Amino acid sequence: MSDFSFFKTHRTWEDWCGMLLGALIVASPWFPIQDHAPVIERQVMVLNTVAIGLVVFGLSQLEYVALQRWQEVATIVVGLWLIVSPYVFGYSGEGFLRIYHTSLGAVAVILGVLQLWQDWDLSDQDMLKHGQ
């Protein structure tokens, strides 16, 4: 039998992975994509993606410094928004970018759910000890 205690504790490396994920999301509009979208749509997509990446990065930094449950819930919501963004803003036809955003959003959701599950039973005092 395997020991799942590794997954039961919120570790600081998860916060660092969240920061790396935020940086990848910010950089994703410049990954190789089909570049036939109109300029206006491309600007909205880039602005949306950079904003989402900065939010994920900032939430992960906050979790590293002062852990709160709302940060993990916000990470899940932002990850879900990244998944639906290609369909909302109309760039779902661009294969690579749609796949990147769906994949990166799914990773953000999974990371947020994992961290929320790990911290569900912790008291506020235990959460303040995170990273120390």
Q: What is the pLDDT along the chain (132 residues), one digit of tens a residue?
A: 445 555 556 567 778 888 999 999 999 888 766 556 666 677 888 899 999 999 999 998 888 777 777 888 999 999 999 999 988 988 777 668 888 899 999 999 999 998 888 776 666 555 555 554
pTM (predicted TM-score): 0.80
* Domain residue limits at 84: 11-120
Tell me how many domains the chain contains.
1
Dist CA 105 CA 49 (whole Å): 11
Residue 128: inside a domain: no
- Residue 125 is assigned to a structural domain of this protein: no
> What pLDDT was estimated at residue 1?
43
